[in-house]
Structure 1
Amino acid sequence: MDIVGFLTKTGGLKKEDIGLIEVKDFSAFVAVNRHKISKLLANIKEARLKNKKVKIDIAK
């Protein structure tokens, strides 16, 4: 739930822009509407989640 809240509040996404979330031990993969990615990356460039810097990249 922390990831969804972070992406909606800080990232400016709506819940319908977020798809499947796969959480691993030290990372997470989130499906995001492809048309919203550039706005999301700009909004969370220096953001923190639970006082930890967020490293975000586009998976290929």
Structure 2
Amino acid sequence: MPGAATTLLQAVLRDAQWAGKLTEEDQRALSPRFWAHVNPYGRFRPDMETRLDLTAA
């Protein structure tokens, strides 16, 4: 179930008058959801079978 902010964002983007005014940069500023496909940290696959050697630090 979307939150209030998501519902409001969907309503604004559904309005043709607003949709024509918003640039790609505007959309990025509205919500991180537009960048959900980007993973700046790469893939992280935790290995639950091994432990980190914290004594080395």
Q: TM-score range by the shorter chain?
A: under 0.3
Q: Larger strand proportion, structure 1 or 2?
A: 1
Normalising by structure 1, what TM-score?
0.25
Q: Larger helix proportion, structure 1 or 2?
A: 2
Name the larger-Rg structure.
2
